[in-house]
Amino acid sequence: MNTTQIKFYEKSLLERGYLKLIFDKLPTAYDYKSWMTPAEGYDVYDGVIFRFEKGTSKLIDRMIVEVKVRDKFYPELILEKIKFNDLKKVRKQMDTKTKKECYTDVKTRLIYINITPEGSFFFDLDKLQKDFEWVEEMHWVSTTDKSKGKVMKSLTKIHYTKGKAYNIKTGDYINKKAVETMSINHSRARQLGIIF
């Protein structure tokens, strides 16, 4: 791997590590099953959470999760339009596959998580999208490779108060072995056709 690929992999592993910390803090009123995409992969999402009625196998909903780790706290957090559209496409693919192969209709939610030095913020994009105001701004093509320069991006800004806060902050300890295990489990689940 070259330097940029190593940085991308390390950033992806970090996102999945924080996602694991958040998985462990989900409300205990439900049972959950979660998977993370492989850190070295190029999936447009970072993980999937299945929520079940407590003590049963009755599936309530599924959440497609995208994670961003920020080194600095910003009151307004950026969501790129291309990322939002990619997440909607993945949801449509998952929903179509579930209906066709499992004969069930399960609600799939899009969740955007930002980990900052002030805490983590969990946004339900389906509930917030009616308020999105898309603007065009210059931003880095890649935060892991600034040599690519800046381009005009379509994005919206979401105020942190619109999210559910968790006390998980940039810099908290991450168990890398647990992250690797969850990534392996995601690959196996994908091979078995459990998730798209």
pLDDT, tens digit, 9 for 90 and up, residues 178-193: 556 655 655 555 554 4
Residues 43-73 have pLDDT tens digits of 899 889 989 999 998 888 999 999 998 989 9
CA distance 36 to 39: 8
pTM for the model stands at: 0.82
CA distance 93 to 116: 31
What is the residue extent of each domain of the chain?
3-131+159-192
Q: Give the orientation angle of helix 176-192 with respect to helix 3-23, to 10 degrees.
A: 90
- DSSP-derived secondary structure letter, 193: T
Residues 6+ apart with CB under 8 A from 181: none
CB-based burial of residue 48 (10 Å sphere; 0-12 exposed, 13-18 middle, 19+ buried)?
A: buried
